[in-house]
Amino acid sequence: MPRIAAADIEKEVIAVLARVTKAGDGGGPAGLSAHQILARLPRTVREQIVAAGRSRRGGPPDYSSSATLIRNALRRLGDQIEIGWIDARGLHFEVAGDLIQPRGRVCAVYKLVGSI
């Protein structure tokens, strides 16, 4: 499987964040974690990202390296993205039917705030 770079998925990541509905009372954009963005990518793109991580390490899906690739794509967007943090204890995300627990005690939440 060819290696996938952050630049290769940037447009798809932007599209996922652009589709997020407006948040409750504040009316601003809702945020998503890297795992949530991964889960909402088109299936073929998500499968390519996960397979690329698996081919480097072998074995089961490597959602950690997949989330890292998503984060790297988001960093390329600079001030178009706002990053917030939430307590990740007890938090799980569903990606392609698998439940994923964030590795750290906090989890980044990304919002699209600029125009792309």
- Residue 20 pLDDT class (50, 70, 90 cuts): confident
pTM: 0.85
Buried-state track 70-91, b at ≥16 Cβ within 10 A, e below 16: bbbbbeebeeebeeeeeebeee
Residues with Cβ < 8 Å from 49, sequence gap 6 or more?
4, 9, 38, 41, 66, 69, 70
Q: Cβ(50)–Cβ(41) under 8 Å?
A: no
pLDDT of residue 85: 95
Give the rounded percent of residues in the chain with a pLDDT score beyond 90.
43
Q: Which residues contact 22 (CB under 8 A, 6 or more apart)?
A: 28, 29, 30
Sequence-separated (6 or more) residues with CB below 8 Å from residue 8: none
Residue 103 has a pLDDT of 83
* CB atoms near residue 61 (< 10 Å): 17
pLDDT tens string 65-104:
889 999 999 999 988 899 999 999 999 998 888 888 888 8
Residues 14/77, Cβ–Cβ less than 8 Å: yes
Q: What is the pLDDT of residue 61?
A: 73
Would you kindly state where each structural domain of the chain is located, as residue ranges?
6-112
